[in-house]
A = this chain, B = another copy of it.
Amino acid sequence: MSTKKKITSFDIAELAGVSQSTVSRALRGSPLVNEETRRRVQSAVETLNYTVDKNASNLRRKFSGTLALLFFEDPAPDDSHINPFFLSMLGSITRACARQGYDLLISFQQFSRDWHADFADSKKADGLILLGYGDYLAYCDRLERLRAHGTSFVRWGAVLPGQPYVTFGCDNYQGGREVAEHLAGQGCRRIAFLGDASSHYPEFFERYRGYAAALEERGLAADPALQADAESSEKAGYEAMRSLLERGAAFDAVFAASDLIAVGALRALAERGLRVPRDVALAGFDDIPMAGFVNPPLTTVRQDTKQAGEALVDNLLKLIHGEPAESAVLPGRLVVRQSSMRGAPRAPARKRAAKR
């Protein structure tokens, strides 16, 4: 830490030969100051290498110029691996913030801790972006308190009717539908589902419902014996796949509720000597960076994280400025790769091709 005294707007004022108020005005771009004066101030700023003290400025303006990104994870991961999908989101959120001139504070929250309102109240951030998988029903209570408290926030997750807060999410239902249709289109008849399918995990549940609807339309009704719970992790996917195999369930395809689950399932299948896609077709959801590189490359539903990040940031700023903002569902896009293409990879396509 340097020992030299901190340079303040008074130092600039003195050097530029104006009052401190004028310095402040010039620096905040007030239209009131004379062009010549502004130049003098600017040059003093440069020679003294001055920067406005954010703490003082923010205190006075009752504003922080900062958004907080809160990840929550439940259960807390033991290692430092973060869900890669959220990591992709982080990239686009950071960029969207930068574009808007906001700083981004980032925090990983244990789901169990009582973080509500803390960030916004303490004026560390003007608003919150909430990201995370976890038990939605348990989570709702926190969201309600945040809202009651008047905190500005937006979240990524399932967009459900009647939700009293601004949410952006992928069209999970439609995505689940397209995956199931594609798998059925490949000739699969017994399509398993790996992932929690209850209102506690509404994103997965929507994917499940889309899948179930598509099957039903084709007279294939989803079989509860072909579903196994899993949170979004490679480990959970591996275990869910194993439990399905141990039950002796007969299936010719697996729809994993997330890519991480799919990657785990892939490992369990390989251990059993089952070949993907020849013995079992496989699809995931998210299109994490790894998805195109696993063996075989994974069919999945791509969520547009760039668009998502921008929607989150732009709408949070609206909220902060007291403007109305609306939840929206963002489209996903089925990305067909080898893991779901029945028949040898290089063989000519079968007659039942994928719909897109």
- Which among B6, B105, B295, B322 is the interface contact of A103 at CB below 8 angstroms? B105
Cα(A84)–Cα(B293), bound, Å: 14
| Complex: chain B residue closest to A53, CB-CB | B123
Q: List 15 A-B contacts (CB under 8 A).
A: A1-B152, A2-B150, A51-B117, A51-B118, A53-B59, A55-B56, A55-B59, A79-B306, A80-B306, A90-B90, A94-B106, A94-B107, A98-B107, A293-B293, A295-B296
Cα(A6)–Cα(B63), bound, Å: 13
Are A289 and B121 closer than 8 Å at their CB atoms?
no
- Which among B53, B151, B294 is the interface contact of A122 at CB below 8 angstroms? B53
Cα(A294)–Cα(B294), bound, Å: 5
- The answer to whether the Cβ of A253 comes within 8 Å of any Cβ in the partner chain is no
- The answer to whether the Cβ of A191 comes within 8 Å of any Cβ in the partner chain is no
What is the size, in residues, of chain A's interface with B at 8 Å between Cβ atoms? 59
What 8 A-B pairs come out closest when comparing CB atoms?
Answer: A2-B150, A295-B295, A51-B121, A55-B59, A80-B91, A80-B92, A51-B122, A55-B58
Are A66 and B105 closer than 8 Å at their CB atoms?
yes
- The answer to whether the Cβ of A274 comes within 8 Å of any Cβ in the partner chain is no
- Which among B56, B81, B103 is the interface contact of A91 at CB below 8 angstroms? B81
Against B, the Cβ 8 Å flags (1 = close, 0 = not) of A50-84 are: 11111110110010101000000000000111101
- Which among B3, B49, B92, B107 is the interface contact of A117 at CB below 8 angstroms? B49
